[in-house]
Amino acid sequence: MSPAAQSATARAMVLEQPHGPLQLRERAVPQPGAGQVLIRVAACGVCRTDLHLLDAELPEIPYPIVPGHQIVGRIEALGAQVQGLRAGERVGVPWLGSTCGHCGFCAQGQENLCDAARFTGYQIDGGYASHCVADARYVFPLPEDYGDLEVAPLLCAGLIGYRSLRLCGDAANIGFYGFGAAAHVIAQVAAWQGRRVHAFTRAGDAQAQSFARSLGAVWAGGSAEPPPQPLDAAIIFAAAGELVPAALRAVRKGGTVVCGGIHMSDIPAFPYSILWGERCLRSVANLTRRDAAEFLALAPRVPVRTQVRAYPLEQANAALDDLRQGRLSGAAVLTP
């Protein structure tokens, strides 16, 4: 890195204590170590996981920390031993920031479960900033079909949604509980695959239900409503444990309910009868590099179109509040 780059300053929105708010700080531009790249951030998506970080619902948060794990930018400098990437290349950085690479999970293609995994915007400073560094092994070239803002939601909402959809198998009738950033991406993929998408929203949220129909949903209603026919599978994107019994009641015998979030409120007690009949309840944890490669190749083929609302970096707290209050259709994206 040049002396000029070393002496430059970076801006970042920093979480310094539980429950925030984020504070705008100036810092030295971080320098990439061996195996790392320095990225000048062009856009960073805002995710519900960032709210869980802000609310101290994730364990052992290393304050101060810069949130953000849907990072789009260009490589400014490469550390030693980096191969396959070049300065100036546009890349994306997702939630999974590094793994050990040699444990049983990593060896069996389950690096998302690695006990030594570290996560972008949680244990590694993320993209609510003008610059960040990332492990070069977990950085991905991005499809040129998308602008910087439009591609950002694909890096978590898209990737976690895609992994959740894979765990639904060949389900033809599928329900999405919580129609936010992830559902608005994956509904397009599911409809393109020929599945019948059912969207479950907050009761009376006509705007969200209309949005879901515009993206291919064949039915949209409140989360407590029964679908017009039993579902083969359901994905719960909302962080509301009370939706688990509702989804179990909505799926047929042999059906699958997938919990797609990293955090969820407590699941209330429910009768065994709604699980019986070989229904399956499972969670999705993180993502793998295989998920990223597959989904980033698939998205332009659909093509997935993202709806985004841009916020300047300094308005990160406002973007997070809009997400918390359900004022967004699609995804919020910060632009440093």
Q: Give ∠ CA 203-191-111 in degrees, rounded to 5.
A: 90
- The DSSP result for 258-306, as a single string, is EE--S--PPPPP--GGGTTTT-EEEE--S--HHHHHHHHHHGGGTT---
Nearest to 248 by CA among 219, 221, 220, 223: 223
Q: Residue 213: pLDDT above 50?
A: yes
- The whole-number average pLDDT for the span 115-144 is 97
Which of 283, 309, 326 delimits the end of a domain? 283
Task: With cut-offs at 50, 70 and 90, classify the pLDDT of residue 102.
Answer: very high
Q: Is residue 162 part of a domain?
A: no
Q: Residue 2: pLDDT above 50?
A: no
Q: What is the pLDDT of residue 82?
A: 97
Q: Is residue 97 part of a domain?
A: yes
Residues in CB range of 215: below 8 A, 6 or more apart: 184, 187, 188, 191, 197
Tokens of 103: 């444990």
- Domain check: are 88 and 67 in the same one? yes
Tell how strand 90-93 and strand 71-78 pair up.
antiparallel
Q: Is residue 159 part of a domain?
A: no
Q: What is the pLDDT of residue 281?
A: 98
What's the longest Cα–Cα distance across the chain?
67
Could you tell me the residue range of the domain that residue 268 belongs to?
168-283
Mind spelling out the 3-state secondary structure of 107-149? HCCCHHHCCCCEEECCCECCCCECEEEEEHHHCEECCCCCCHH
DSSP label of 155: G
- Domain check: are 126 and 219 in the same one? no
Helix axes 289-298, 157-166, angle to 10 degrees: 100
Q: What is the pLDDT of residue 177?
A: 98
- The whole-number average pLDDT for the span 245-249 is 98
- Domain check: are 145 and 204 in the same one? no
User: 3-state DSSP call for residue 151?
Assistant: helix
Q: Residue 139: pLDDT above 60?
A: yes
Nearest to 256 by CA among 130, 145, 167: 167
**What is the CA 317 to chain-centroid distance, rounded?**
18
Task: Tell me the per-residue pLDDT of 56-84, one tens digit each, with 9 for 90 and over.
Answer: 999 999 999 999 999 999 999 999 999 99
Buried-state track 145-171, b at ≥16 Cβ within 10 A, e below 16:
ebebbbbbbbbbbbbbbbbbbebbeeb
Kindly state the percentage of the chain with pLDDT values over 70: 98
Can you list the alpha helix ranges (DSSP code H) found in the chain? 3-7, 48-54, 104-107, 148-151, 157-166, 181-192, 206-214, 243-250, 289-298, 316-324
CATH code, domain carrying 55: 3.90.180.10
Q: What is the pLDDT of residue 3?
A: 44
Around Cβ 335, how many Cβ atoms within 10 Å? 16
- Domain check: are 14 and 148 in the same one? yes
Q: Is residue 160 part of a domain?
A: no
Nearest to 334 by CA among 52, 64, 130, 143: 130
Domain count, the chain: 2
Kindly state the percentage of the chain with pLDDT values over 90: 96
Q: Is residue 83 part of a domain?
A: yes
Task: With cut-offs at 50, 70 and 90, classify the pLDDT of residue 126.
Answer: very high
Q: What is the pLDDT of residue 8?
A: 83
Nearest to 247 by CA among 210, 216, 274: 274
Q: Is residue 255 part of a domain?
A: yes
- Domain check: are 143 and 35 in the same one? yes
Tokens of 126: 């993320």
- Domain check: are 312 and 213 in the same one? no
Task: Tell me the per-residue pLDDT of 269-298, one tens digit each, with 9 for 90 and over.
Answer: 999 999 999 999 999 999 999 999 999 999
Q: What is the C-alpha separation between 306 and 271, in angstroms, rounded?
A: 39
Q: What is the pLDDT of residue 4?
A: 42
Spatial contact of 66 and 132, defined as CB atoms under 8 Å apart: yes
Question: What's the mean pLDDT when you consider all of the chain?
Answer: 96
CATH code, domain carrying 172: 3.40.50.720
**What is the CA 1 to chain-centroid distance, rounded?**
31
- Domain check: are 145 and 292 in the same one? yes
- Domain check: are 182 and 256 in the same one? yes
Q: Is residue 275 part of a domain?
A: yes
Which of 268, 283, 298 delimits the end of a domain? 283
Q: What is the C-alpha separation between 61 and 323, in angstroms, rounded?
A: 21
Q: What is the pLDDT of residue 263?
A: 93
- Domain check: are 234 and 295 in the same one? no
Q: What is the C-alpha separation between 54 and 63, in angstroms, rounded?
A: 11
Determine the residue type at 80.
A
- Domain check: are 242 and 121 in the same one? no
Q: Is residue 116 part of a domain?
A: yes
